A and B are shown apart, each in its own frame.
Chain A
Amino acid sequence: MSAMQSRIAIWLDRRIPAARRFKLNHRTIFIFPSRFGGLYLFLCLGLFLLGTNYQNNLMILLCYFLISLFLINLLAAYFNFSNLDIQLGKVQNSFAGDNIQVPIWFNHRDKESHGKIHLSFWRHREKTSVDLDALANPAFIALACPQRGRLPLPRVTFSSYFPLGLYRCWTHLAFQSDIVVYPKPVRCPIRLENKSDEQEQHHASVSVKGHDDFDTLAPYKQGEPLYHVAWKQVAKGQGMLSKQFSHETGASGWLMMPKVASENLELTLSQLCYQVMELSRKNQRFGLDLGNSKIAPDSGNDHQKNCLIALALYGKRG
């Protein structure tokens, strides 16, 4: 980032501080004639010269008409854009090397906004566009996450050329987000270590509802996933039945960070990440010991998330 760009970034941070939701206004909107706007003004100049030299008032009138439209368009473009209410949706955490899809929600304020909105991350090439007249909320923009850790969301540039393409209205919005990028999982054997003071052994071999092995049929309850419905039985007219799966929870243990600092920390983290994913998939109880922080053995989605976040932020500030 050059000195100029960082200065702009600082200025933008002061002018448009980060928020989850933006109602666009004069502080956030920038507006300037587009490239076509320049061409249009050139056309006006041409008509003016032609009209003046031929002393032809009709050409001059046409020229002034186009200039008046240009003036009116300034406000038309601004008000159309300022009616937007832009909000960041819930961003799913992701693994390093993947693209995350950042959802953006558009809402109108007192009047409808029209036209296409072009979105891109600030200083990124890729562009997507949404048409506000055929809106499918939310719009997604893809963001590559090369490495683990907290991912600061770059400013998102929104631009619109409505109504006649003469002006470009744009804004660079910074969204508050707490996206964590997990290490990229790397396949490896699972090494659960038992710690001496395990009191949790009693919990072993409890049948927990899972999704590995078919166990029994039970009446379908609302909220259960549809792929658990026993469609064969439904077809036979026995009503909605849901397949119940049981899952043998294996012995619990700890995933340990090697005590001796490994030469390849990232690889170790990636392998740990794989193991966390694998164990969670099997619904096994496990703890995570990273040396400076420990997560007590547990199972479930929240536990998995906590473990993954711990791995993602290992050795990083914040």
Chain B
Amino acid sequence: MISSAKNHSHLLLTLVFFIVSFSLLEPVMSWILILVICATVMRTALYLELHKHAPSIRTLNLLALLSAIVLAYFSWQLGILLGMLNLLVLACSLKLMLLRSDKDYFQLITSCGFLIGCGFIFQQGIAFSLFYFALTLVLLMSLATHISPNLPLNKLIKKVSVMGAQAIPITLLLFMVLPLIGPLWQMPASKSHQTGLAEKVTPGDIANLSQSAELAFRVTFDGTIPAPQERYWRALVMENFDGESWQVSPDRKAIQRQYKGANREFSPILEGNYYQYQVIAEPTHQSWLYALDVATPIGASSQQKVWQSHEYQLSSISPLVSTFQYEIRSFPQVLLNQTLSSVDKRINRQLPEQGNPLTKQWVAETRQKYTTDDDFIAAVMFYFSSQDFEYTLQPPLMPNDQVDTFLFVEQRGFCSHYASAMAYMLRLGGIPARLVTGYQGGEQLDSDYMSVYQYDAHAWIEAWHDDRGWIRYDPTAIVAPNRLESGLRNALNEADLLLGSGFGQLSTVAWLNSLRNWLKDVDFFWTKWVLGFDKDKQQDLIKSLIGKITPQKLAMFSLGAVLLIFALIALFFLPIWRKPKQDKASYYYELAEHLLTKVNLHRRASQGPADFVSQVKNKAPSSITEPFAAITDLYIQHHYQPSSISQQQLIISRMKSHWKQLKQAMKKQKG
């Protein structure tokens, strides 16, 4: 049984647990956080001796039982990952209330370490990584305090920081050398942490996304970069419309499953010019990816982890829980007509039966005038450009007959309104059409990569032409041509800009801008080389070190790495570092003593310096005795007389000169 009163290690552990739990604010349920607060307050009270007794085991068992029931009730909504995480935090908080033995303490330390690791599922930025690293060090501090409670705090801090600093080079070596392997099994992803585009779009949704300045993905182009108006990053294709919202068609999902089951990936025939680029996607906890049309993954690892489906859409095999890199080649001139048109047409003619009578009427009338598909589409586009439509982030609410209200009453909306309305109109006119969501644009300042943010999210449509396949139409481009050429920021009016305060508007201060760009570059480096360091990069690194990889070379390399690690550890503990720091006075005194051993004068262990001098005086000539007596006097003075630093320096310089005298005297003696 160990007491928490004035126990620093318990307090530090409590602190770490509290901070880690609150850094997991979103995934951990609030009632569990309240338990965490209770446990923290309890431990702090015990530490401050405001309270003497921890709650009894019986009380805690009851609490544990109740909490388990509540958690089990919620776990249906939470899913496995969050359920487990919540369970761990809950168990830790109860254990913290109970903490009485060394065993409890060590279990808590281990669990806190694991919780810090779990934090990385949700946060992977540099700032958070440094924060979690600091927390790990505090956790180690707690351990060190637990093992040696009476060591002064500054020494403990020094000890832990030294060990941490020693561990870092070994960590990096291990990270670079130990083979990075692919996932061993599929882990549950957290549904509530999905970010970015959703599988279902109700006009207005993307407008919300547009207020977020978070990064969606970064692109590095090899060679030519497409013009801004060509940067349509396709993510999701939605083919089911219920009169209000668009979503991925259930039929399409069934077809995708069949293809996946048969392992028949869609591989379009590609030719002509292409753009080649590498995408680093931020974690979304969903699996679709971004690419320009018509895309194909390049390189073995990209081909292995990217799946292409029959809507020209790319997705990863498992959800993006951490940054995800893939290499793509896009062929802009290739037509999208390589899929089974019968299936595509059947799915994309589906219409909701109810609602929007005005639109139905308008389409019926217009379609009578324009019998060819091209003319009809042109008429629809003309409608958008001729009427007084407004592009805005704050569309009015349109509860009933949304398309009617939008087209004929309000005439104000965001890209998804335009795309949704147009796709619906085309379908009414008998043309297969579908909604595509993704990102449009991307900014490339003075860096060699392009950043695409959440506010670049966009929706456009595709219409089927029997001769050319799927053709892209973007009604938003007609209403707000600026949107394509210079990005969202310039397409909006003042009021919208104020609303979207998260845009990271360029400040007028130059150094602030350059600092921001520098931070972006650092973040890019972090994402590419730390978060995105994978098997390929590791192999490239090893290749650049040892040249062509052969089994012998690889064996030598691994052996070298292991030896290097051992050499590092040995270096840390070399005897030189372990020698106590001797003061200069003792150093010269010992040198002098050593000189005397040559004339057979030894100081016995029991003999003090003053005693020894008298012995020397009896046995040695004055040429030796005098300097040695002076050295001894100074030595004693240095140790037993309080003196200022300048005085001490004087003493040492005088000792040095006397020591030189002694040395010369010894030489003469011998000579």
- Picked from A49, A58, A64, A111, the residue with its CB within 8 Å of the CB of B531 is A58
Q: A57-B322, A75-B572 are in contact. Are A133 and B148 (CB under 8 A)?
A: yes
Quick check: which of A8-16, A39-47, A192-200, A298-306 contacts chain B, the rest being far away?
A39-47
- Picked from A46, A55, A61, A116, the residue with its CB within 8 Å of the CB of B114 is A46
Q: A71-B170, A79-B573 are in contact. Are A58 and B140 (CB under 8 A)?
A: no
- Whether A56 and B114, one on each chain, are in contact in the complex, defined by CB atoms closer than 8 angstroms, is no
In the complex, the chain A residue whose C-beta lies closest to that of B180 is A60
Residues in A neighbouring B109, C-beta threshold 8 A: 36
- Whether B569 and A59, one on each chain, are in contact in the complex, defined by CB atoms closer than 8 angstroms, is no
Give CA–CA (A132, B147) in the complex, Å: 11
| A162 at the B interface (CB under 8 A) | yes
Give CA–CA (A42, B109) in the complex, Å: 12
Contact with A along B530-546 (1 / 0, CB 8 A): 11111000000000000
Contact with A along B160-171 (1 / 0, CB 8 A): 000110111011
Q: Main SS of chain A's interface residues?
A: helix
Chain B residues with a Cβ closer than 8 Å to the other chain, count = 60
Q: A36-B106, A46-B114, A67-B174 are in contact. Are A115 and B148 (CB under 8 A)?
A: yes
CB within 8 Å of A: which B172-213 residues: 174-175, 178, 180-187
Residues in B neighbouring A64, C-beta threshold 8 A: 170-171, 174-175, 178
- Whether A79 and B578, one on each chain, are in contact in the complex, defined by CB atoms closer than 8 angstroms, is yes
| A52 at the B interface (CB under 8 A) | yes
**CB contacts between A and B, total, < 8 Å:** 161
CB within 8 Å of A: which B103-117 residues: 106-107, 109-110, 113-114, 116-117
| B121 at the A interface (CB under 8 A) | yes
Residues in B neighbouring A227, C-beta threshold 8 A: none
Residues in A neighbouring B159, C-beta threshold 8 A: 114, 163
In the complex, the chain A residue whose C-beta lies closest to that of B531 is A57
Give CA–CA (A64, B167) in the complex, Å: 9
Residues in A neighbouring B396, C-beta threshold 8 A: none
Residues in A neighbouring B163, C-beta threshold 8 A: 69, 72-73, 76, 163-164
- Picked from B106, B150, B186, B321, the residue with its CB within 8 Å of the CB of A56 is B321
- Whether B147 and A65, one on each chain, are in contact in the complex, defined by CB atoms closer than 8 angstroms, is no
- Whether B120 and A59, one on each chain, are in contact in the complex, defined by CB atoms closer than 8 angstroms, is yes
Residues in B neighbouring A91, C-beta threshold 8 A: none
Task: Offer 29 A-B interface pairs, CB within 8 angstroms, sorted by A.
Answer: A42-B110, A46-B114, A46-B117, A49-B184, A50-B118, A52-B184, A53-B186, A53-B187, A54-B121, A55-B183, A56-B121, A56-B124, A57-B531, A57-B532, A57-B533, A58-B531, A61-B175, A68-B166, A68-B167, A68-B168, A68-B170, A75-B572, A79-B573, A111-B578, A115-B148, A162-B148, A165-B106, A165-B143, A165-B147
Task: Give residues in B with beta carbon < 8 Å to A.
Answer: 106-107, 109-110, 113-114, 116-118, 120-121, 124, 129, 132-133, 136, 140, 143-144, 146-151, 155, 159, 163-164, 166-168, 170-171, 174-175, 178, 180-187, 321-322, 324, 530-534, 565, 569, 572-573, 578-580
Ranked 3 nearest A-B pairs via Cβ: A68-B170, A68-B167, A133-B150
